[in-house]
A and B are shown apart, each in its own frame.
Chain A
Amino acid sequence: MSNGNDGDQAAQERMLAGRLRQAIETTFARDSDLLRRGWMVDTCCLIEIGSERLLLTIRSGRPAIADRIPLLVSWEFAIRAGADAWSALWQPVPKAGWHDLFALTKRGAMHIEGRLQPFMANLQYFKDLVTLPRAGGPR
């Protein structure tokens, strides 16, 4: 059984997941620079926004988010954070300490786990990709 606060939290997580999905579907399409830089990226990763889970597949640098996550699906790494961390990261001018993936991991508000070689080999691409929902774009 859930109370109102749980409902609010779930709604916020869904809203943020929708923002990321929309940014990847629309903003990315306009970002030829990100596609140019990511042309070697081929991987599958999991993005978690609280209890919301998004399966992100990237082929030759072109990302797509699955409509639903199949059972027993494989992915190489996961980026996990709560709604507060994603929301702070996507502010037009984020607060100090909430402005970068590693600022968030250092403070324990985000966890990046799994086989990290594809992530680290294309680190700026991934930083910019998951920061697309920020108004004004990644910095």
Chain B
Amino acid sequence: MSTPAVEPVFEPMVGRYLTVNILGQACRIYTEEAGSGIPLVCLHTAGADARQFRHLLCDEAVTSRYRVIAFDMPWHGKSYPPVGWEQSEYKLTTELYVETIRAFCAAMALERPVVMGCSIGGRIVLQLAHAHGDEFRALIGLESADHQQPWYDTTWLHRGDVHGGEVCAALVSGLVAPQSPQEYRHETLWQYMQGGPGIFKGDLYFYRVDSDLRGKLGGIDTRRCPLYLMTGEYDFSCMPEDTLRTAKTIPGAKVTVMEEVGHFPMSENPAQFRKYLLPVLDEIFKAAA
């Protein structure tokens, strides 16, 4: 066997599988992590997977203080659907989403983690803040709002005469800001091309049908669990005004509108995103010290 000419350069994250019981179903979940310190659990967008956080997992300014953990939701990425999946249609509900996150955090024995979610992940952190705020050190909603106006018919996402992966990617391509580097634009879209049939649509059941949180977010205590909402100016799905409207109903919620960023800040333009994220993580870290 010949010796490689160049030493391999490994990235710092490691991946492994664990089985988590979620609402009575055993789910084999793939998770990646890097760093040590305060647990920071990252939730990917609808129809995608945890690869969206690969840049964050390699960012020493974050991993020096945070144990960054990103997992693929069941049915996504390298996490299989639960046994018997072939006999049902995938539909994410608010209850299933909340219990997936809580069961994962419990299985990983995480003590009051920070949870940061994007899009559907940004919506669910609002529900976490409302119903389970004591379990979390802080919550960060990216592209987060209590509701937003739909902008297309989701039946296009899963039908025999349209390629699901290609139409999913093409639909969300406009949610990437024009300034984002081409490499990361297309990496973000590639994930959408790789989603399972009907999975993006099933995630959007939660987004469109089962999680209108308008008027339902009372009782959030941002002194106990700080809430940060960060939205890209080019996101026309969850628009900055949606986030600002939501924040007005939650005393103490802090809003940042990110310039030259769209719906996928962590994967479409990681350099631009970290300019906005690092001060938030600094604040959470100092509060924990």
Contact = CB atoms under 8 A, between A and B. Distances in A.
Contacts of A96: 177, 233-234, 236
A28 B193 CA distance: 25
A139 B185 CA distance: 9
A69 interface: no
Chief secondary structure at chain B's binding surface: loop
Interface of B: 149, 151-152, 156, 161-163, 166-167, 169-171, 173-179, 182, 185, 233-234, 236, 239
Interface residues of A, number: 19
Nearest to A37: B166
B155 to A, nearest CB: 10
A101 B163 CA distance: 20
Which 10 interchain pairs have the tightest Cβ spacing?
A100-B174, A123-B170, A124-B170, A103-B236, A106-B151, A96-B233, A96-B234, A121-B162, A139-B178, A120-B156
16 contacts: A93-B178, A93-B179, A96-B177, A96-B236, A99-B177, A100-B174, A102-B152, A105-B151, A106-B236, A120-B156, A123-B167, A124-B173, A139-B176, A139-B178, A139-B182, A139-B185
A94 interface: yes
Contact of A124 (B149, B162, B169, B182): B169
Interface of A: 93-94, 96-97, 99-103, 105-107, 117, 120-121, 123-124, 127, 139
Contacts of B167: 120-121, 123
Given A103-B236, A120-B156, A139-B185, A127 B179 contact: no
Contacts of A127: 170, 173-174
